[in-house]
Structure 1
């Protein structure tokens, strides 16, 4: 099933179930918010799925047209937002381009704790302070978990994934390097993150979900110009591994969101899901960066489609504006 949060004047919105073709929706009966549904997943999942099936069959009551502009982020606030860097290609490319230290480890995932109090809807806008901060986007896959016990194994961690979606991990590159060197992780470099209109259960993904990874191309455009379609299955750490890493020394609360980090593809013709990579390739090929970072008024579009070219999570499409 596909789940979203309708704007209703409350911070967490109103949980709705969305049809597979993203055209129709109905208010969920078993839970009023997505966070409460995740917290009580074992008790409400079957009822939500039954209502979703009625929606598909045309038997649901109270059906209305789905418009992502009537929704907020599926989780407008979450107990925790943890973002990894699970693609080795991304780390190696950026380090090579500017002769920086490569922080990648084949045994320990890179991960930071981001702000989870103001998660933004798919249509934006993203209000940012200044173009001088080198505004960028990062197209990512995200998962939402129920309560995860401390010390869980990667294999058992996979059973705690309840929903999958997409994110634009908005980044201000001018702050990033200095905050990494300080050793306390990102803060100013990471404004509020933007999420896909809907999050979906694993059964919606069919063969696109295998081995704890989402298989498919995540396509990014800026101002209708194609930037890249890297494939998400090139993650070097599965989501099971990422969850286990995060839960090494503490449990994870239900509703925690974990990100894959920038989707990055080792193939040369698939482009990139972030301008930082585009500029790294230019630096290596031409000795200089030719593509600028985002400007105010630019529109970022991120999508992933199934085998029939239907959007899986709905489209992230938002402008970058001066705040």
Structure 2
């Protein structure tokens, strides 16, 4: 009763001036899978690995739907990577593949924007995958019961300034959602709120001739059928601060 009265007395929210937040602001773990589509492995010059290529993202890199992805001052090689995001609802360790999807709370969308020259400065990809303002996450969380089992049959499409640059079925993942969860849980305990970023298909800017890098004024959209569209403008970082979008 008191809470309702307080809410009723509160000033109305101007949605036009409000800003979104990432689906989860500080996940305990953000587990990313590289090279999880065969065509992307081929275009990147890698042999398809027999074991998932796992790397981590940090929550300090996250931005919400509608917020800008930031191209850092020290690089022009900002690339898009549209991906499915999987949010864990029930934790566990040594999870059997047949039980893995029971641990999923729901699904969202991720743009694993990568600073390519820094990604390949060393064999470990951590730095190039964790620049501030490069991990777009949203726009919503769709619970697992509202989507096909393991997101089978859904399509992922990335568009840069309205032009389709990535287009694939999630069925084409080398390690599907259940396999990802089961394999990673053999090494570490999964906890509610952990996020899996499930891999990107072919079409990334790095593999194009000439390369297609995101720049100030661009708009990148990642769409997964049944979930929605994650849309982010791109801005440049100037002297440690974001340059406003035009």
Going from structure 1 to structure 2, the CA distance change for 1:176 and 1:70 (only over 3 Å counts) comes to: closer
Going from structure 1 to structure 2, the CA distance change for 1:121 and 1:69 (only over 3 Å counts) comes to: farther
Determine the structure 2 residue equivalent to 1:194.
Answer: 136
Q: Which has the higher contact order (CA 8 A, sep 6+)?
A: 2
Secondary structure of residue in 2 paired with 1:296: coil
Q: Give the paired residue count.
A: 223
Going from structure 1 to structure 2, the CA distance change for 1:304 and 1:147 (only over 3 Å counts) comes to: closer
Runs of 4+ residues over 3 Å off in structure 1:
64-70
Secondary structure of residue in 1 paired with 2:28: coil
Which aligned pairs between 1:121-140 and structure 2 lie closer than 5 A?
A: 121-130=64-73, 132-140=75-83
Which aligned pairs between 1:34-183 and structure 2 lie closer than 5 A?
A: 70-85=19-34, 86-95=36-45, 101-102=46-47, 104-106=48-50, 108-130=51-73, 132-179=75-122, 181=123
Normalising by structure 2, we get a TM-score of: 0.81
Tell me if the contact between 1:76 and 1:118 (Cα under 8 Å) persists in the aligned partners: no
Secondary structure of residue in 2 paired with 1:120: strand
Deviations 1:109-160 (A, max 9, x none): 1111111245211112012313734011100001101243221222212110
Secondary structure of residue in 2 paired with 1:151: coil
CA distance in 1, matches of 2:145, 2:16: 23
Tell me if the contact between 2:152 and 2:170 (Cα under 8 Å) persists in the aligned partners: yes
1:317 has 2:218 as partner:
no
Q: Which moved more, 1:146-155 or 1:157-166?
A: 146-155
Determine the structure 2 residue equivalent to 1:243.
Answer: 181
Going from structure 1 to structure 2, the CA distance change for 1:153 and 1:219 (only over 3 Å counts) comes to: same
Write 1 or 2 for the structure with the bigger share of helix.
1
Going from structure 1 to structure 2, the CA distance change for 1:120 and 1:78 (only over 3 Å counts) comes to: same
Secondary structure of residue in 2 paired with 1:249: coil
Tell me if the contact between 1:196 and 1:316 (Cα under 8 Å) persists in the aligned partners: yes
**RMSD, aligned α-carbons:** 2.5
Give the gaps of 5 or more residues in structure 1. 1-28, 30-63, 96-100, 265-271, 280-288, 306-311
Give the gaps of 5 or more residues in structure 2. 5-12, 238-246
Write 1 or 2 for the structure with the bigger share of strand.
2
Tell me if the contact between 1:83 and 1:111 (Cα under 8 Å) persists in the aligned partners: yes
Determine the structure 2 residue equivalent to 1:299.
Answer: 219
